[in-house]
């Protein structure tokens, strides 16, 4: 069981907006920055968001990140069928002295 | 464009040592702010950080794996490697290498992985 809690699955229609939550504690999200990764089926994870809300070059502004207290949220607007994938949050846990990831959320675009 | 590629045996026997190498191209592992990390993903499960290394030799390991893990770097070959001892079936996973970046503070409280290698499946089986 992951220290960071993500919903196992979310779904929405093409063109709609979806949010994916990542819940932690004061030893991780509460005192660290959050990153988000996209994993398409059969491929390696890819960085989507770092520093809570920064997008690397090449990531469209349909993807956004935010953090409040001990939770973080990934938002995706204008959903496309190609967005169907697993999404993972990650951060540092000062109690564990380790990088930790959420359990992952499967996004289905109906 | 920085690229990473994992290599090593696809099968390891229980109780033996898993050894993988990550070859880096399009850039140097001798980088002031970059660590280089290993992450694994058991089939159908989530991501687990194994550990990371700085080119100068400084390492950080996941405490849950620390007693069995060694990560090393070879700057002459622009590679870094993973050794995991005493493997069991629970170590069966896709193993990824990735550049491990930190924010301006240099602390891991601000860290992320980018880019990732394509991953290599290692099965622990007799």
Q: What digits encode the pLDDT tens for the residues B38-86?
A: 999 999 999 999 999 999 889 999 999 999 999 999 999 999 999 999 9
Residues 6+ apart with CB under 8 A from A21: A5, A6, A7, A71, A72, A73
Chain B residues near residue A46 by CB distance under 8 angstroms: 114-116
Asked if A45 and B113 touch (Cβ cutoff 8 Å), the reply is yes
Mean pLDDT of B84-107: 95
Please, which pLDDT band fits residue B6 given cuts at 50, 70 and 90?
very high
Q: Which of A39, A44, A55 to mutate to test the interface with B (most CBs of B within 10 A)?
A: A44
Chain B residues near residue A92 by CB distance under 8 angstroms: 107-111
Q: Which percentage of chain A shows pLDDT scores above 90?
A: 96
Contact A45 B103 (CB under 8 A): no
Give the model's pLDDT for residue A105. Answer: 98
Give the model's pLDDT for residue B81. Answer: 98
Q: What digits encode the pLDDT tens for the residues A87-104?
A: 999 999 999 999 999 999
Of A44, A97, A103, nearest to B63 by CB-CB distance is A97
Give the model's pLDDT for residue A101. Answer: 98
For the cut 90, the answer to whether the pLDDT of residue B106 exceeds it is no
Higher pLDDT pick, B23 / A110: B23
Contact A44 B101 (CB under 8 A): no
Residue of B nearest to A29 (CA): B109
Report strand pairing: A85-93 vs A63-68: unpaired
Give the model's pLDDT for residue A104. Answer: 97
DSSP chain B: --EEEEES-SEE-TTS-EEEEEEEESS-S--TTEEEEEEEE-TTS--EEEEEEETTS-EEE-TTTGGGEEEEEETTTTEEEEEE-S--GGG-EEEEEEEEEE-TT--TTSEEEEEE---EEEEE--
Q: Which percentage of chain B shows pLDDT scores above 90?
A: 90
């Amino acid at each position: 069981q992951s220290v960071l809690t993500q919903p196992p699955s979310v779904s929405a229609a093409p063109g709609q907006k979806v949010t994916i939550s990542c819940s932690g504690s004061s030893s991780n999200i509460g005192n660290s920055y959050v990153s988000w990764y996209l994993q398409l089926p059969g491929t390696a994870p890819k960085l989507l968001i770092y520093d809570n809300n920064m997008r690397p070059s090449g990531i469209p502004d349909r993807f956004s990140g935010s953090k409040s207290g001990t939770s973080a949220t990934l938002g995706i607007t204008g959903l496309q069928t190609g967005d169907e994938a697993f999404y993972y949050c990650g951060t540092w846990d000062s109690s564990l002295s380790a990088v930790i990831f959420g359990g992952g959320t499967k996004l289905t675009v109906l | 464009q920085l690229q990473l590629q994992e290599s090593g045996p696809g099968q390891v026997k229980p109780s033996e040592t898993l050894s993988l190498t990550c070859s880096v191209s399009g850039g140097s592992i001798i980088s002031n702010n970059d660590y280089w990390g290993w992450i694994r993903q058991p089939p159908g499960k989530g991501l687990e950080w194994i550990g990371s290394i700085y080119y100068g030799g400084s390492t950080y390991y996941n405490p849950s794996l620390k007693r069995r893990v060694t990560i090393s770097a070879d700057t002459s070959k622009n590679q870094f490697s993973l050794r995991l001892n005493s493997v069991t079936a629970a170590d069966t996973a896709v193993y990824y290498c990735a550049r491990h970046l930190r924010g301006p503070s240099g602390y891991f409280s601000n860290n992320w992985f980018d880019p990732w290698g394509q991953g290599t499946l290692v099965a622990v089986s007799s």
